[in-house]
Structure 1
Amino acid sequence: MKIEIRGEQIVLDKERAIYLPNENLLAISDLHLGKAAHFRKAGLAVPNGVSQSDLKRLSQLINHYQPKKLLINGDMFHSDYNTEIDEFASWRSEFKEIDFILVKGNHDKQTEEVYEKLSINVYEPNYQTNHFCFIHNVTHCKSDLYAISGHLHPGISIYSKAKQRLKFPCFYFSDAYSILPAFSAFTGLQLIKPKAQDQLFAITPSKVVKV
């Protein structure tokens, strides 16, 4: 799905990512690496492979769009240092030519040494392009640029023809800001209540659909 915001094209990908052709920039939000390991450490029965699956999807996106920059719009790592961050380090080595940018979110609490070791450029509170201000929590945005945020894990509820209620992650766009879906599959959804002029794009298993 391709849309235009402030005169610039944005590609909405069904893998919960956006691509900005003019910037050659791929952006995701709420990757939450280490969340499964964090829960297992707390004694909860969370299956292995969640982070590996998310990183596999991210690899496919990188190989498809061939971006110069990958931007994670907050909550890259869910908690304190754990084994899944080591797994990310190994995965990161496959994409040395790409600039990794992290806009800090509320869960991003690693030390500066960790980010430097992983070759991640950290921005706080935002990262700006010519038209957009990437920020994790839109309520903290003080820029006149169009804000692209995350944090809320937006979702939409749709009734099917069989009158079944289905929930999907979604992209949300208002006149002033947007909210990206959580990239990680291991997250919940916060249902969005749009205003009349807002735009919602549901992410189904096969495609992005304007609602």
Structure 2
Amino acid sequence: MKIEIRGEELILDKERAIYFPNEKLLAISDLHLGKAAHFRKAGLAIPTTVSKSDLLRLEHLFLKYQPKELLINGDMFHSDYNSEIEEFAKWKESFNDVKFLLVKGNHDKQKKEIYTDLTIEVHEPTYNSANFCFIHDVAECNSNLYSIGGHIHPGISIFNKAKQRLKFPCFYFNETHAILPAFSTFTGLQLLRPLENDQVFAITPTKVVKV
């Protein structure tokens, strides 16, 4: 799905990412690496495949768009350093030609040395491009640029032809800001109530659909 914001083309991908062709920048939010391992440590039987599946999806996006930069708009890591972050470090070695940028979120509490060792450029609280201000929580943004946030894991509820209520993650846009869906599939949804002029794009298993 291609849309235009502030005169710039954006590509909304069903893998819960936005690609900015002008900057060759791929943007995602709420990756939450280490979340499954964190819950397993607490005694919950969470599959080890959760983070591997998310990284595989990200790898496919790299191959599809060939970005120069990946911007993670907050909550890259979910908790303290654990085995999933070590797995990510090994995975990242295959993508040294991609610059990793992180806008810190409320879960990003790793020691500074961890980000340095992983070659991740950290920005706090915002990262600005020509037309956009990336910030984890748009409620805290004071920029005149068009703000792009994450944090709330937005979702939308719609009814199908059989009048069944279905819930999907979504991209949300209004006049001043956008909210990205959580990239990780191991997250809940906060259902939105869009206003009349808002734009919402539901992410179905096969495509992005304007609601």
State the TM-score bracket (shorter-chain normalisation). over 0.9
CA distance in 2, matches of 1:96, 1:129: 22
Q: Deviations over 1:78-114 (max 9, x none)?
A: 0000000000000110000111000000000001100
SS in 2 for 1:187: coil
The aligned counterpart of 2:176 is 176
Q: Distance in 2 between matches of 1:152 and 1:21?
A: 26
Q: Which amino acid aligns with 1:79?
A: S
- Distance, in Å, in 1 between the alignment partners of 2:139 and 2:32 is 20
Letter in structure 2 aligned against 1:48: T
Unaligned runs of 5+ in 1: none
Cα distance between partner residues in 2 of 1:148 and 1:156: 18
**Matched residue, 1:5:** 5
- Paired residue secondary structure (1:139): helix
Aligned position for 1:141: 141
Alpha-carbon deviation of 1:4? 0.2
Other-structure match for 2:81:
81
- TM (norm. structure 1) is 0.99
Structure 1 runs of 4+ off > 3 angstroms? Answer: none
What residue is the counterpart of 1:22 in the other structure?
A: 22
**Percent identity between the aligned chains?**
70
Q: How big is the shift at 1:44?
A: 1.0
Does residue 162 (structure 1) correspond to residue 162 (structure 2)? The answer is yes
5+ residue gaps, structure 2: none
CA-atom RMSD in angstroms: 0.4
- How far apart in 2 are the matches of 1:208 and 1:98? 25
Q: Distance in 2 between matches of 1:162 and 1:95?
A: 45
Distance (whole Å) between structure 1 residues aligned to residue 159 and residue 139 of structure 2: 31
Distance, in Å, in 2 between the alignment partners of 1:45 and 1:52 is 16
1:129 & 1:47 partners in 2: Cα distance? 37
